[in-house]
Amino acid sequence: MTPPDLDRKTALFLDLDGTLLEIAATPEQVVVPPGLPALLAQLHHQLGGALAIVTGRPLTQIDELLRPFVSTAAGEHGVSLRYADGTREELRGEMAMPAVWREALQAAARQWPGVLVERKPHGLAVHYRLAPERADEVWRLVRELVPPEHPWFRLVPAHEAVEIGLRTASKGDAVERLMAHAPFHGRRPIFIGDDFTDEAGMTKARELGGVGLRVAEAFGGDPANVRAWLMQGAQRLDDRLPSSKMSSGAMP
């Protein structure tokens, strides 16, 4: 699949880990290329603000990683939305995630060196990238805690990790909600993602007349290729911008 050219009627939705950034051993160890925030800011300006980060990370982490760039964003797979005017919206479940789940997973992780429990405002993630031999045990435990028929929470597969999140949230729902508002409304959405949680966002983009791109298929599985495509798009959108300015820093 060949990625389409960006134009000034594009609405761009970008996943973070595995799409804009290379996957790291732990969420804290990701490296943000020095030129990425400036590139995103340039595209944000060129697209009239119609650029959103849609990720499993909380909004605060998005801002910390991409500082000083701040934009429309969906955190925790759509549980938290920040619109273009800065307004925030939170999906509310019928109940908070039971503390006993977190306690059980943290107790197990203490017995499983390399397994990490990442707390989030509305859920948590269990990472076993550093202990892949524990995958079956991790999944067995989370399935015991959160059965498939649970009315409010669900399990979300990720790269060598599993998340417990709100059943009502998805990246597809986030795209639909954002596309109903300026500056996204009336544009052609392009959603780029790399794993299971991004499929709903890609599907919704296609339903709304746009494109859903998997990093593995459209960019050879390499976030550097995504960043290079974004840089080329920015240069096409503003042919008055010197190439040296866009390629400054360590991009892609």
Domain with residue 72: its CATH number is 3.40.50.1000
Conformation bin of residue 102: beta by default, left when phi > 0, alpha when psi is -120 to 50 = alpha
What count of other Cβ atoms lies within 10 Å of the Cβ of residue 70? 17
Q: Which of 72-76, 150-154, 199-203 has the lowest mean pLDDT?
A: 150-154
**Is 60 exceeded by the pLDDT of residue 246?**
no
Those residues whose C-beta lies under 8 Å from the C-beta of residue 80, and which sit 6 or more positions away, are 58, 59, 74, 88, 89, 90, 91, 121, 122
Domain boundary among 166, 198, 215: 166
Cα 179 to the chain's mean position, in Å?
17
Q: Are 97 and 108 in contact (CB under 8 A)?
A: no
Task: Give pLDDT, residue 252.
Answer: 61
252 found inside a domain: no
* Confidence category of residue 244, pLDDT binned at 50, 70, 90: very low
**Total domain count, the chain:** 2
Alpha-carbon span 34 to 136, nearest angstrom? 37
**Is 70 exceeded by the pLDDT of residue 247?**
no
Mean predicted lDDT score pLDDT of the chain: 91
Taking only the tens place, the pLDDT of each residue in 97-121 is 889 999 999 999 999 999 999 988 8
31 and 82 part of one domain: yes
What count of other Cβ atoms lies within 10 Å of the Cβ of residue 58? 20
Average pLDDT value for residue range 216-226: 97
Q: 224 lies in which domain range? A: 10-91+169-246
Taking only the tens place, the pLDDT of each residue in 123-151 is 899 999 999 999 999 999 999 999 999 98
Domain boundary among 166, 199, 218: 166
Active site residues: 15
Q: Model-level pTM?
A: 0.88
179 and 235 part of one domain: yes
77 and 180 part of one domain: yes
